[in-house]
């Protein structure tokens, strides 16, 4: 079998004749037809994956109250959000911790509550001004109540994390989650068999 060149594949893409499959589909083709035939048959394997990470979060535009308030400090279920954006905008980071529950609840939990349709307490404070006279607001909101909610994931293209466990006798709080002592659990991150980095560890075809 003569290897395909990138130029040949690009030409097929422009012609509309390229065979494009997902990484999951490619696994099945290889199982059924073998590596050689699969390579001959398929031109492009899409390997886009998604995994929320420590930089993930949500930009909110809450809309104006009556009278209006310039939100200088915002909490969602007691999890503080960053407000140095606009009058009623805030950014909630997934890893921000609750001021009342600590490690038990944080930004990611708030995001999950919104997605599940639950009510979330919005609390905001301001110094007040002529344009925005209100100095405080406490209300319950759902995802349907806000003008905008846009999730961003600056670092989620793909990761090569495998798994983590804990051989010590103490509970460890890590960015891979809570690790129980004496190998009590294993946490993992990644997309397993469809991970582009696991399938192409030498970066020969990722692009």
d(CA 99, CA 108): 14
pLDDT in tens, 143-196: 999 999 999 987 765 566 678 999 999 999 887 889 999 999 998 877 777 777
pLDDT score of 60 more than 70: yes
- Could you tell me the pLDDT band of residue 58, with boundaries at 50, 70 and 90? very high
d(CA 134, CA 123): 13
172 φ, ψ to 5°? -115, 130
Q: Quote the DSSP letter at residue 112.
A: H
Percentage with pLDDT > 90 across the chain: 69
Partner residues linked to 58 by β-bridges: 92, 151
The reported pTM is 0.67
d(CA 89, CA 61): 4
Each domain of the chain, given as residue ranges in start order, spans 6-49, 57-152, 163-190
Task: Please give the positions annotated as active site.
Answer: 131
The answer to whether residues 169 and 68 touch, using CB atoms and an 8 Å cutoff, is no
pLDDT in tens, 28-47: 999 999 999 999 999 998 87
The answer to whether residues 50 and 196 touch, using CB atoms and an 8 Å cutoff, is no
d(CA 101, CA 99): 6
Q: Quote the DSSP letter at residue 82.
A: B
């Amino acid at each position: 079998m003569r290897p395909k060149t990138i130029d040949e594949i690009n030409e097929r893409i422009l012609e509309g004749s390229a065979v494009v499959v997902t990484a999951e589909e490619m696994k099945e083709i290889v199982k059924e037809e073998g590596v050689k035939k699969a390579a001959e048959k398929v031109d492009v394997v899409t390997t886009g994956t998604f995994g929320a990470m420590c930089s993930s979060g949500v930009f909110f535009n809450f809309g104006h109250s009556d009278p209006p308030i310039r939100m200088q400090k915002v909490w969602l279920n007691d999890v503080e959000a960053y407000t140095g954006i606009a009058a009623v905008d805030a950014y909630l980071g997934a890893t921000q911790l609750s001021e009342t529950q600590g490690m038990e609840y944080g930004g990611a939990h708030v995001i999950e509550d919104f997605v599940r349709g639950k009510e979330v307490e919005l609390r905001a404070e301001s110094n007040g001004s002529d344009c925005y006279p209100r100095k405080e607001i406490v209300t319950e909101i759902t995802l349907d109540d806000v003008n905008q909610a846009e999730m961003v994931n600056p670092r989620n293209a793909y990761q090569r994390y495998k798994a983590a466990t804990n051989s010590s006798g103490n509970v460890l709080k890590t960015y891979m989650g809570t690790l129980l002592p004496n190998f009590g659990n294993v946490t993992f991150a990644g997309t397993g068999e469809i991970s582009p980095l696991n399938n192409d560890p030498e970066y020969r075809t990722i692009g």
